[in-house]
């Protein structure tokens, strides 16, 4: 059983620093069995944070997730997201209720604004706070917010209750290390790193392959270990294959030497100046 580190949210709740993504799941009935099996395998291994969104397959990912967690709801820290155009004061309540129905549960542990849209942040936050008071969500957060968005959020009523910012972060996308990541760490707002293996694209990098081999590990494991090494960062790799979920969980047991971290810095240089937040 891998020893998965935890990250503490502002509420004091601890969640695993390695969770499970679900984008593209639930879209084809032929794949459902393998997808459910891979999510359940992740839960067995302690990757008990599951990330979904109303956007993914227009509800299909939430439905698939609902099936995967049937009978195991209490083991799971369940995260979903609202479309920006649904994030009005009232819309956020309706969207959340629809998500709960698809997920066949009575509560989300964390509910995120998927990215910024036309509705004022005050309204979205007021809707989130109502959901929290009613017990429909445990906490709320944002996604794809750069530092200026976070500053603006902090200034709205209850904006400081934000529990996370979910952003693109992996070896090949290190821009947030310049400012957004330290800002979030200082404000004790954990960062959820999405596309942590760059959707598979970084796995062909020769230096990553070389370092992985030295540890009898895989490039995906080293890419995830890079994120696990960081304070207050939660990585949410997605895999529809149970054996790959096992592989990803194994990242928690990797101990990379300082020399190899330096080699990774040379292959994937950290930012030297402000970079606008990238999105996928
Ligand atoms: P990931 O970086 O997690 O990569 C997923 C891809 O990599 C899949 O094609 C998967 O294939 C493959 N893969 C997974 N593990 C391995 C492995 N060990 N070896 C080789 N290939 C592997 O990308 P995602 O974009 O899916 O990001 C993760 C999650 O983050 C999403 O699923 C979603 O929940 C969230 N997200 C949030 C966004 C936001 O705007 N807030 C945007 C994008 C993602 P297979 O499934 O066939 O194994």
- Work out which ligand 1 atom sits closest to the CA atom of 279: 40
Minimum CA distance residue for ligand 1 atom 30 = 194
Q: How far does the centroid of ligand 1 lie from the alpha carbon of residue 157, in Å?
A: 34
* Interface TM-score (ipTM) > 0.95: yes
Q: How confident is residue 133, by pLDDT bands cut at 50, 70 and 90?
A: very high
Backbone angles phi, psi at 122, to 5 degrees: -55, -40
Pocket test for ligand 1, best of 61, 87, 200 (most atoms within 8 A of CB): 200
Q: What is the pLDDT of residues 8-40, one digit of tens each?
A: 999 999 999 999 999 999 999 999 999 999 999
Atom of ligand 1 nearest to the CA of 203: 20
171 CA to centre of ligand 1 in angstroms: 14
Q: What is the pTM of this model?
A: 0.98
Is 114 marked as binding a ligand? Answer: yes
Would you state the pLDDT for residue 2? 87
Ligand 1: which of 169, 194, 242 to mutate, most ligand atoms within 8 Å of CB? Answer: 194
Q: Given the CA of residue 239, which atom of ligand 1 is nearest to it?
A: 46
Percent of the chain with pLDDT over 90: 99
Average of pLDDT values for 49-60? Answer: 98
Q: Quick one: average pLDDT of 253-260?
A: 97
Secondary structure class of 55 (helix, strand, coil): coil
Tell me the pLDDT tens digit for each residue of 136-169: 999 999 999 999 999 999 999 999 999 999 999 9
Structure tokens of 138? 């445990």
- The pLDDT assigned to 242 comes to 98
Burial 98-125 (b: 16+ CB within 10 A, else e): ebbebbebebbbbbbbbbbeebebebbb
Q: What CA–CA distance (Å, rounded) separates 156 from 162?
A: 11
Domains along the sequence of the chain with CATH: 6-267 (3.20.20.100)
pLDDT at 139 (0 to 100): 98
Active-site residue numbers?
56
Task: Work out the average pLDDT over 57-61.
Answer: 98
């Amino acid at each position: 059983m891998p020893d998965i580190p935890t990250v503490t949210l502002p509420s004091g709740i601890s969640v695993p620093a390695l969770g499970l993504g679900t984008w593209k799941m639930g879209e084809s009935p032929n794949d459902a069995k393998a997808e459910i099996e891979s999510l359940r395998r992740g839960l067995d291994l302690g990757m008990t944070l599951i990330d979904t969104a109303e956007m993914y397959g227009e509800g299909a990912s939430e439905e698939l997730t609902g099936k995967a967690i049937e009978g195991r709801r209490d083991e799971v820290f369940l995260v979903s997201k609202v479309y920006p155009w649904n994030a009005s004061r009232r819309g956020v309540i309706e969207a959340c209720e629809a998500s709960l129905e698809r997920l066949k549960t009575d509560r989300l542990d964390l509910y995120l604004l998927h990215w910024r849209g036309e509705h004022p942040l005050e309204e979205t936050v007021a809707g989130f706070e109502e959901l929290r008071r009613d017990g429909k969500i445990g906490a709320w957060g944002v996604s794809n917010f750069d530092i200026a968005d976070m500053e603006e959020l902090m200034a709205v009523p209850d904006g400081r209750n934000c529990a996370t910012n979910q952003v693109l972060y992996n070896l090949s996308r290190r821009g947030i290390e310049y400012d957004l990541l330290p800002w979030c760490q200082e404000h004790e707002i954990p960062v959820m790193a999405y596309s942590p293996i760059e959707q598979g694209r970084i796995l062909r990098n020769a230096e990553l392959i070389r370092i992985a081999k030295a540890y009898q590990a895989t490039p995906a494991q080293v890419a995830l270990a890079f994120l696990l090494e960081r304070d207050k960062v939660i990585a949410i790799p997605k895999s529809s294959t149970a054996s790959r979920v096992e592989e990803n969980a194994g990242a928690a047991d990797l101990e990379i030497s300082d020399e190899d971290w330096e080699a990774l810095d040379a292959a994937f240089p950290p930012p030297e100046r402000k970079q606008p937040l990238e999105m996928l």
